[in-house]
């Protein structure tokens, strides 16, 4: 049996991973919907949904999936075009909620992908909701010029929060440990830190080493 699922479609950071697993053998193939499909006119035209077919078609070829092998496809809008393609090509598929084994495997793939984009592993290891919009937004504002290019800028939420006014200043760090959100290294106590502040859904402060600004 084949399972098909996605990971990262709800994350501001990066594209979306589409993964396919043959449950009995553990054969797994995945690819990323390029970020450009979540930016500009491509996003408005929902071309990312059509690109799912490109990934799945290649995966089906690599895994040599036959027309009568059962395929479970995740429910949801991401697979609207794929469902039509599977039907037109006479594959045996059903829409369902995808659980393990694929769910854990594909989530790990997206974690690794996000780290490759520069997201600190500590975000994923020690944070309950590592890809929460405003948490990622804070990481982006710590190095806006570079990290804004890694975002799904076609989102309405980016239009609302992606170009906020920021203020820069300094604070003396005394009784609390902070991590620089640009280099991900500790900011020593009893030292000055650069501060970026802005207001999104609430007031936010980003602490950086002075030399990281």
Q: Where are the domains of the chain?
A: 2-117, 121-212
Least confident of 122-126, 176-180, 191-195: 122-126
State how far the Cα of 42 lies from the Cα of 64, in Å rounded to an integer.
31
Contact by Cβ (8 Å): 22, 161: no
CATH class of 121-212: alpha beta
- Do 116 and 23 touch, CB atoms closer than 8 A? no
Average pLDDT over residues 15-41: 96
Length of the chain: 213
The second-level CATH assignment, the architecture, of 2-117 is 2-Layer Sandwich (3.30)
Q: How confident is the model at residue 125 (pLDDT cuts 50, 70, 90)?
A: confident
Q: Hey, do 2-117 and 121-212 end up sharing a CATH topology, with the first three levels equal? A: no
Q: How far apart are alpha carbons 120 and 115 in whole angstroms?
A: 6
By percentage, how much of the chain surpasses pLDDT 70? 98
Q: How confident is the model at residue 122 (pLDDT cuts 50, 70, 90)?
A: confident
Examine the pLDDT at 75 and tell me if it is beyond 90: yes
50-60 confidence digits (pLDDT tens): 999 999 999 99
- pLDDT at res. 174: 87
Residue 127 has pLDDT above 70, yes or no: no
**Nearest alpha carbon to residue 131 among 145, 146, 117, 149:** 117
pLDDT at 67: 93
């Amino acid at each position: 049996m084949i399972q098909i699922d996605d990971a990262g479609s709800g994350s501001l950071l990066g594209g979306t991973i589409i993964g396919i697993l043959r449950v009995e053998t553990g054969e797994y193939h995945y690819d990323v919907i390029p970020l450009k499909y979540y930016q500009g006119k491509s996003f408005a035209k929902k071309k990312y949904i059509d690109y799912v077919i490109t990934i799945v078609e290649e995966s089906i070829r690599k895994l040599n999936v036959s027309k009568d092998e059962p395929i479970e496809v995740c429910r949801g809008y991401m697979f609207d075009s794929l469902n039509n393609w599977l039907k037109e090509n006479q594959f045996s598929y059903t829409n369902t909620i995808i659980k393990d084994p694929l769910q854990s495997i594909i989530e790990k793939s997206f974690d690794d992908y996000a780290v490759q984009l520069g997201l600190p592993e500590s975000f994923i290891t020690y944070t309950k909701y590592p890809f929460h919009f405003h948490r990622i937004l804070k990481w982006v504002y710590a190095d806006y010029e570079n990290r804004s290019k890694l975002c799904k800028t076609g989102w309405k939420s980016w239009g609302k929060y992606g170009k906020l006014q920021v203020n820069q200043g300094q604070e003396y760090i005394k009784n609390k440990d902070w991590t620089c959100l640009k280099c991900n290294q500790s900011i020593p106590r009893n030292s000055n830190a650069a501060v970026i502040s802005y207001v999104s859904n609430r007031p936010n402060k980003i602490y950086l080493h002075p030399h990281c600004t």
